[in-house]
Structure 1
Amino acid sequence: MDNEMTGRCHCGAVAFRVTLKDGFSTVRRCNCSFCRMRGAVVVFATRVDVTQGKAQLTEYRFNSKAVGHYFCSVCGIYTFHQSRSQPELSGVNVACLESVSPFDFTDVPVSDGINHPKDGGAGGVAGHLVYTPTPT
């Protein structure tokens, strides 16, 4: 799969172009307090260029306030965030990427954000989220 992709929020006010780090091999969820509530499947990108709607992006920082999480201020959709573990990367909401669904991934590793290494924890993989589609 090509590592260059386009994405947008639900209403289309925010659009962006990304370069994925290694296709979809980096797909993840996280169990930290914020990600548990957000529920997004993310993939890591080496580049995110906002091509439309930069003024509509809203930034949220929590806990250590070290990284920004970006949302469309019109529709509220989480689009991407800066990785705390690897600040040169961005986590991108796969549901925002053109022709991609979080349900395309049947086994998603869950990062142990509750025990993040930058907070003194071991980090690693806390488990896997498995999706089994019903045969049609």
Structure 2
Amino acid sequence: MLEHQGSCHCGAVVFRFNAPLITEAMLCDCSICRRRGGPLTTFTLSPDALKIEAREGALRSYKFGTEIATHHFCDTCGIFTFVETRLTPGEYRVNLGCLDDLDQQALDIRSYDASAL
């Protein structure tokens, strides 16, 4: 297991988690994910596994449509950091673009049907 660290652009939201070396990623095809871009982890993390440190008021959330998935972002810089998916409420997929020292170009990235998440 490796410790992975990441943050939003301005550093108001910082997070870390332990997971194996990340070699795969997924692109969700829902309307918000298509617009914001960025690959997500193929695995989910429990609230205990995802350690989040955010300045007071910095972490915001957005729901749309069925309001089942919750998209979390930084209120200061607007960067999307993670999402709670509708099939695994309370668990998170991380925006891999926020991770320090991860080469997104080296990832095996696959598209996923949003209704399956």
- Deviations 1:21-46 (CA, angstroms, capped at 9, x unpaired): x5425520011111111111011342
Q: Which runs of 5+ in 1 are unaligned?
A: 117-122, 125-136
Q: Which runs of 4+ in 1 moved over 6 A?
A: none
Q: Which runs of 5+ in 2 are unaligned?
A: none
Query: Quick check: 1:16 aligned with 2:18?
Result: no
Opposite residue 108 of structure 1, the aligned amino acid is: I
Secondary structure at the counterpart of residue 34 of structure 1: helix
User: Which of the two has higher C-alpha Rg?
Assistant: 1
**What is the total number of aligned residue pairs between the two structures?**
113
TM, length-normalised to structure 1: 0.72
Shift of 1:98: 1.3
Larger RCO of the pair (alpha carbons < 8 Å, separation 6+): 2
TM, length-normalised to structure 2: 0.82
Shift of 1:101: 3.7
Q: Is the 8 A contact 1:29 1:111 kept in 2?
A: yes
Identity %: 34
